[in-house]
Amino acid sequence: MPWRHKWSIGAIAFILIVIAGLVYWFNGLSDKKPLDITVIIKSTDKSIEFWEVLVDGIHEASQEFDTNVQVWGSKAETDVDEQIALVEKAIRGRPDAIVLAANDYDRLVPVAEKVKKSGIKLIIVDSGIDSDVAQSIVATDNVNAGKEAGQAMKQHLEGPAKVAIISYVKNAASHIDREKGVREILSGNPNIELLDTFYVEGSEQNAYLMAKEILNEYPDMLGIVGLNEPTTVGAGRAIRELEVKERVKLIGFDSSFNEIKLLDEGIIKATVIQRPFQMGYLSIKTAVEAVRGKKIPGIIDTGSLLITKRNMYEEENQKLLFPFVGN
């Protein structure tokens, strides 16, 4: 009897509709399944506060969005091969999303493309790669950060002055962007003479020596911009040693115990810091949204903040400058 079949099909359809209705009323059960996210950072070295704080943000977000997060990383930031191997391993684990802070701008591109091919969402945090396979990039806008440093330098300089920029390495994207920002603000100013950028080949000691040379060469009003933490601290040490903090205005990037001391002493006039907690938190939040199929922006700027001696102990800045990581 065919009509009986029709009737039972109708009944089943009716029941299914009712189930759907119930599920809808209960606001979805499937939504609650925890996601698996693998995070691969640049370094698991506990002494690097930046990554510790970033991981803190990751854990905070993973609690809030109910995700199972695994955080991996090569021991040293320079170990590109190990990081590639970690990404391969992560792909084999088939998580819902991978959050990656790339150790190398070029060499991680193939493996990142493999992530995309495997159908796993890729979110880049802090340091990008030369490819657009990532769903989203959560990082500081370094050009903007450079502009902030440039503005600070402009305010601190009185009368005609020369400005030297010290860069850590030659081909790091973040440094190029920061330098671009600094130059954009300072160039075209009649009072300011921008010197060629000095490269210190990835060493704080080199930065110190280089700064000393510069200080000796230019005995007049001078501004120095250190594009990251070691260059800033190296230059700061030179200024402290030569006792020229009145004459030389040092603007730095990032923060560390040494930088804070130099800020306290008044040697560093200002430093531009990032928000690693936000980066970690937003990278997970964005990954979750990407997996859930929500529309996410391609680039999320976590912003930067100018810290001076005057505002360094303000409530809002203390947490950033003095990360409270389990101590």
Strands 97-100 and 35-41 turn out to be: parallel
**Is 27 near another protein (CB under 8 A)?**
yes
What 251-254 contacts at long range (C-beta under 8 Å, 24+ apart), as own/partner pairs, is 251/149, 251/152, 251/153, 251/156, 251/223, 251/224, 251/225, 251/226, 252/149, 252/225, 252/226, 253/145, 253/149, 253/178, 253/226, 253/227, 253/228, 253/229, 254/50, 254/228, 254/229
Cβ at position 322, least distance to another protein in Å: 5
Interface stretch with another protein, choices 158-166, 220-228, 243-251, 314-322 (CB under 8 A): 314-322
Strands 248-253 and 268-273 turn out to be: parallel
**Is 300 near another protein (CB under 8 A)?**
no
Select 32 or 294, whichever has its Cβ closest to another protein: 32
Cβ at position 52, least distance to another protein in Å: 13
Select 185 or 320, whichever has its Cβ closest to another protein: 320
Both structure tokens of 111: 């493996």
Strands 305-308 and 268-273 turn out to be: antiparallel
Cβ at position 200, least distance to another protein in Å: 26
Q: Which of residues 41-60 bind another protein (CB under 8 A)?
A: 57, 60
Select 220 or 246, whichever has its Cβ closest to another protein: 246
Residue 164 contacts by C-beta under 8 Å, 6 or more apart in sequence?
A: 195, 198, 214, 218, 222, 223, 224, 225
Interface stretch with another protein, choices 25-33, 107-115, 185-193, 212-220 (CB under 8 A): 25-33
Cβ at position 98, least distance to another protein in Å: 23
Both structure tokens of 201: 């080949």
**Is 24 near another protein (CB under 8 A)?**
no
**Is 252 near another protein (CB under 8 A)?**
no
**Is 18 near another protein (CB under 8 A)?**
yes
Say which residue the tokens 């600070």 belong to: 152
Select 165 or 279, whichever has its Cβ closest to another protein: 279
- From CA 103, how far away is CA 87, in angstroms rounded? 12
132, 146, 206, 158: CA torsion to nearest 10:
170
Helix (H, G, I), strand (E, B) or coil at 299: strand
Spell out, one character per residue from 253 to 292, where the chain touches another protein: x when CB under 8 A holds, - when not: ----x--xx--xxx--------x-xx--xx----------
Of positions 3, 219, 220, 246, contacts another protein by CB under 8 A? 3
Q: Please tell me what DSSP assigns to residue 30.
A: G
CA-based nearest residue to 129, from 143, 109, 114, 115? 109
**Is 320 near another protein (CB under 8 A)?**
yes
**Is 66 near another protein (CB under 8 A)?**
yes
- From CA 216, how far away is CA 206, in angstroms rounded? 15
**Is 322 near another protein (CB under 8 A)?**
yes
Q: Which of residues 174-193 bind another protein (CB under 8 A)?
A: none
- Residues near another protein (CB under 8 A) are 3, 7, 11, 14-15, 18-19, 22-23, 25-27, 29, 32, 57, 60, 63-64, 66, 257, 260-261, 264-266, 275, 277-278, 281-282, 303, 313, 315-316, 318-322, 324, 326-327
